[in-house]
Amino acid sequence: MNPFLNPVTGIPFLKNFLFDAQRLRKFSPEKINKYRDKALQRIVRYADTVPLYHIKYQDVNLHPNDIKRIKDVTKLPFISKKDIVEHFPNEILPKGYKKKNARIVSTAGSTGKQVSIFTDFSIFSGGIGASLRIYTQLNLNWRISRLANIGNFNPNMADSTAENLFYSKASFIYRKDTRLSLNAFLPVKDIISELDRFKPDVIYSYPATFFHLAFYKRKGYGKNINPKALLVSGSVLEPYTRSYIEEAFGCKLHNGYGSVESSSEAPIAFECQEGTWHINYDFFHVEAINEDHEILENGKRGHIVVTRLFGKATPIVRYTGMDDWVVLSDDEECSCGLHTPIFKNGVEGRKSDSVVLPDGRLFPAASFASLYSILNDLKTRKVKQFQIVQKRIDEIDILVVIDEDLRNVGPSVDLIFKKIQEIHQKKAGPNVQINVKEVTTIPSQKGKPAPLVISHVRPDKGYTVIEE
Ligand SMILES: [Zn+2]
């Protein structure tokens, strides 16, 4: 049965759809905190019916009734990616859970550690408010805006599961001709011509995909692609890429942050028009921990830990598997009108994509890449893609793709490369060899566009994350 037409699932959905996005504006902070307390109680009671969690809770002698307030979350054990992988498939759902209503969804697994969980309608329905909130925030009407999603539509990937479980059945809440799904791994010119025909108001994709599209847009392709906003997620965006894309499309790019595990559709955080990364804290509880799994105070950079406060299927409670670096900050006053905990400076990349230096310093991807200031000072946009590859602890390649049409315009490629070399050498120190190399293309990874940093060095314990 279509879950939208079933009163047991359809009516709660409608309520979530109509009210949840506004909750942060309508509720007082006290009311939101009470709401969070209740949501955590509910989710822990549910998690306790799932063997993976039940065993962990028993191990520490924890009863769900011990969890009454959101601050009690620290009593709960962490759940790692390994835990989920090892207990898949039968022990990450409650016993007797109707699997026919659930779908398996997997991470792209570009680093070889693929993780699969179950999702179902309750997760889409419970998280719909977080999905809509960014539209409200950007003054866009979700129902009538023309949305192009350029993602990964292979089987079991988040985008195809969402299509199958939700959007294909939800046509009564938005017009079907307002949605376009495209595979990000199609030839870029094909994507451009599809978009040109569709005329999207909003485009949703990865940084590397936008970078390619922006290149063609700059060359005059896609005259009818004039979106009001671009939404980006899936990997780290750094300032040069951002300017390159925003200039090409003449509109703002907004980051969304989420993961397959936390919910493919509902973002954990999003960037408002003021550039603040608001955490959807009525949908997720977020913590930051250090290498020893100790909770960090606000303002300190650490690894993200996520608890999803809604939905059923596989619960996500104190999950450490997302591996991104974040700095949390409390209830900032943002001029957009929202008051939420925030990610200071956004999400800076995965631990496995960090640059590690011989002197013990460790840079998250976004804080090592420094092309923006150079290319801005030189007033050039002739770099059409780049990537940082750490080959060894003391050797880093910076791969650069040059726009052929601009090769002989403005500052020389030699000068640009010299400046790129200098600034990264200064960051890395004298004991690291920095090679700036021109390449013709930078390939995608398995199921994922090219990331900003690829590191072949695993950081040992004891490395200090640099605070800039
Ligand atoms: Zn804001």
pLDDT at 260: 87
Q: Give 112-155 pLDDT, tens digit per residue.
A: 578 999 999 899 889 989 988 988 888 888 888 999 999 887 77
Q: Give 231-256 pLDDT, tens digit per residue.
A: 998 888 889 999 999 999 999 999 99
How far, in Å, is the centroid of ligand 1 from the Cα of 275? 7
Banded model confidence at residue 400, pLDDT cuts 50, 70, 90? very high
Of the ranges 290-299, 302-311, 426-435, 454-463, which one carries the lowest mean pLDDT score? 454-463
How far, in Å, is the centroid of ligand 1 from the Cα of 335? 6
How far, in Å, is the centroid of ligand 1 from the Cα of 376? 26
How far, in Å, is the centroid of ligand 1 from the Cα of 41? 29
Domains, in order of start, for the chain: 7-343 (3.40.50.12780), 351-465 (3.30.300)
pLDDT at 288: 96
pLDDT at 345: 87
Q: Give 24-63 pLDDT, tens digit per residue.
A: 888 988 999 999 999 999 999 999 999 999 999 999 999 9
pLDDT at 439: 97
How far, in Å, is the centroid of ligand 1 from the Cα of 183? 31
Q: What is the mean pLDDT of residues 218-228?
A: 97
Is 50 exceeded by the pLDDT of residue 268?
yes
Q: What percent of the chain has pLDDT over 90?
A: 63
How far, in Å, is the centroid of ligand 1 from the Cα of 49? 38
Tokens 């016993």 correspond to what residue?
A: 95
How far, in Å, is the centroid of ligand 1 from the Cα of 277? 7
How far, in Å, is the centroid of ligand 1 from the Cα of 344? 12
Of the ranges 31-35, 186-190, 424-428, 463-467, which one carries the lowest mean pLDDT score? 463-467
pLDDT at 468: 47
Is 90 exceeded by the pLDDT of residue 19?
no
Is 90 exceeded by the pLDDT of residue 99?
no
How far, in Å, is the centroid of ligand 1 from the Cα of 168? 32
How far, in Å, is the centroid of ligand 1 from the Cα of 214? 26
Cα first-last separation, the chain: 53
Is 60 exceeded by the pLDDT of residue 111?
no
pLDDT at 163: 75
How far, in Å, is the centroid of ligand 1 from the Cα of 338? 5
How far, in Å, is the centroid of ligand 1 from the Cα of 28? 17
How far, in Å, is the centroid of ligand 1 from the Cα of 274? 5
- 68 and 37 in contact (C-beta within 8 Å)? yes
Contacts of 427 (CB under 8 A, 6+ apart): 363, 368, 370
How far, in Å, is the centroid of ligand 1 from the Cα of 133? 12
Bigger pLDDT: 361 or 467? 361
How far, in Å, is the centroid of ligand 1 from the Cα of 20? 17
pLDDT at 212: 94
Bigger pLDDT: 337 or 250? 250
Is 50 exceeded by the pLDDT of residue 423?
yes
pLDDT at 114: 85
How far, in Å, is the centroid of ligand 1 from the Cα of 337? 6
How far, in Å, is the centroid of ligand 1 from the Cα of 226? 24
How far, in Å, is the centroid of ligand 1 from the Cα of 131? 16
pLDDT at 112: 55
